[in-house]
Amino acid sequence: MDLSHVSQSKVFGGWHKQYRHDSKILNCPMRFSIFLPLNATDTTPVPVLYWLSGLTCTDENFMQKAGAFRKAAELGIAIVAPDTSPRGDSVPDDPQGSYDFGLGAGFYLNATQEPWKKHYQMYSYITNELPKLIEKNFPVTSRKAISGHSMGGHGALTIGLKNQDQYVSISAFSPICHPSIVPWGQKAFRHYLGEDKSSWSEYDATELLKAWSLKRPILIDQGDADNFLEEQLKPEILQSVALQKQLPVTLRMQPGYDHSYFFIQTFIGEHLKFHAHHLSESL
């Protein structure tokens, strides 16, 4: 898994860097971005926040638009932003060219259906291959937190819930909370996982919360002016399950905010402080 350096820029005393590598799990080249604060050295490695972006995004969207580096530098946290799906000429895409399935829309699951299963193994990439690569090549510890937006919020919730030994805290902006019952999730699950809906629950945060115990805290911010809120996101259903089971899930409805990166910019500092608190508790 040799790395190929793409670019770098100094920011708030640290470095934003972009790399390519050949993924054995995804069977294609992949790109990721990493922010390393000034205090990240071989003798003082730092913990990592993994950020999962939403539909149509790449590794660049969050890093360029979220305004996260000042606070991450202050807190001494590295940030890793992977791409949202496998890429390349050999990777199948939605023949209709829609934005909500195929390239840019990996949904952070392991596909079981043809022709998707050869490449669309984003769950294993995020939980296994990528962190091993990061920990081998950069001055970071094995302490990790996870966050994301929209489809990436769905990924952060499901991956965090299923791997609570790996991630000390979980957060999300505008996540797809119950993908099994909404158009975005149903379309993706039907293609990637097939018609057996019992397999869908493995990648549905609401269903996982019903079935699993929760020992890691979850913070969710959701704008009440989000035009996807009622049809696609369904945070109220997730919150209902959390309240019934008395689980450590905090849902904050933010008046007037939409689905955009302006929303993320506004609250990303609070999410970074949330994760920093739990990352420091685990050290």
Residues assigned a catalytic role: 150, 226, 259
Q: Which of 162, 164, 283 is nearest to 216 (CA)?
A: 164
Which helix (H) or strand (E) is 128 found in, with range? none
- Least Cα distance to 101 among 183, 200, 24, 209 occurs for 183
User: Which residues, other chains included, contact 115 with Cβ-Cβ below 8 Å and sequence gap of 6+?
Assistant: 92
Report d(CA 76, CA 73) in Å as an integer. 5
Measured CA to CA, the distance from residue 9 to residue 86 in angstroms comes to 25
Amino acid identity of residue 237, one-letter, is: I
Interatomic CA distance for residues 8 and 16, integer angstroms = 5
Helices (H), 125-260: 130-137, 151-162, 183-193, 205-211, 235-245
Length of the chain counted residue by residue: 283
Backbone φ, ψ for residue 47 (5° rounding): -75, 170
> What is the C-alpha to C-alpha distance for residues 247 and 217, in angstroms, rounded to an integer?
8
- Confirm if 217 and 170 have CB atoms less than 8 A apart: yes
